[in-house]
Structure 1
C-alpha cells in the first residue's frame, strides 16, 4: 500500500491548531450577530384579502416581516382587522426585544387591516415619528381601450 502524500505548506501542528480553533468557534452565533436597531420604518400593506407588515431599518433593508397568512389565517379570514393586528404584533415582537424605540409608519392600500395594525403598533410601546399614507393614486389613469366596433 503506498504512503499518503503529505500536504505541503502547513505543519501538522498548525493544521491541528486550526482545527481546534475552528471547533471552538462553532458555538452559538445567534447572540453575536444580533444588531441593535433603535430606529426603523414599518410598512403596512393592507389589501382586501391580506395584510403584510414589513419592518426595515432606516436604510430600507428588511429586518422582520409578517402577514396574516403566516399567522395561520386562511381564506377570507386573512382580510380581517384581527388578522392584521396579529401580523403587526408578530412582526414587532422580535424588534422590541432588540431595542427598537422609534419608527415611521408607511401605510399602503385600502384594506380593513389598516387601522388595526396601526393600533397594535401603538400598543407595543414604539414611539411613532410620523404616519404617512403612501397609497398609489392615479393622476389621470390608464388610457382606456379603443371602442368596440360591431
Structure 2
C-alpha cells in the first residue's frame, strides 16, 4: 500500500495596504491590485469582465473591471487602503478611478505615471498623394 504524503494547507495572506495600477489604453483597461512591493494579488480587465472587441475600451468596462478587482482584493486579502497609479490615455481612466473610490476603500495617494516622450522616436513620414 502506497504511503500518502501529508500536505499543509496554504495560509491565507492578509494585506492591508496595496497599490491599484490602472493601465488605460485605447483598446482596453487593465486594473492590477498589488501589495506594496508590487506582487500581484488580483487583476481584472475589460476582457475578463465579459466585454469583447471595441466594448473593452469603454468607460463602463473600465468601471466594472476596477470595481471587481478591488472588491476581490478586499474579500480575499483584507485590503483596507490603497495608492492608485494611473498610466495611459484611454477612455477608462476617470471611470476606473471613480469606481475604486466608490467601493469604499481608503485612497491614500493618486499618481499619474503616464509615459511622456521627451522627443523620443521620429514620427512616420506624412502620406504623399
TM-score, length-scaled by structure 2: 0.86
- Distance change in 2, residues 1:84/1:144 (3 Å): closer
Aligned length: 124
What runs of 5+ residues in structure 1 fail to find an aligned partner?
Answer: 1-14
- Distance change in 2, residues 1:81/1:145 (3 Å): closer
Match of 1:103 among 82, 102, 108: 82
Match of 2:105 among 112, 126, 131: 126
Deviation at 1:143, TM superposition (A): 4.0
Q: Distance in 1 between matches of 2:73 and 2:116?
A: 31
Q: Which residue in the other structure is 2:40 paired with?
A: 62
Q: Distance in 1 between matches of 2:88 and 2:68?
A: 20
Q: Distance in 2 between matches of 1:135 and 1:145?
A: 22
TM-score, length-scaled by structure 1: 0.75
Q: Which residue in the other structure is 1:5 paired with?
A: none
Q: Between the two structures, name the one with larger relative contact order (CA 8 Å, sep ≥ 6).
A: 2
TM superposition outliers: structure 1 runs of 4+ over 2 Å: 143-146
The 10-residue stretch of structure 1 (136-145 or 112-121) with the greater mean CA deviation from structure 2: 136-145
The Cα RMSD (Å) is 2.1
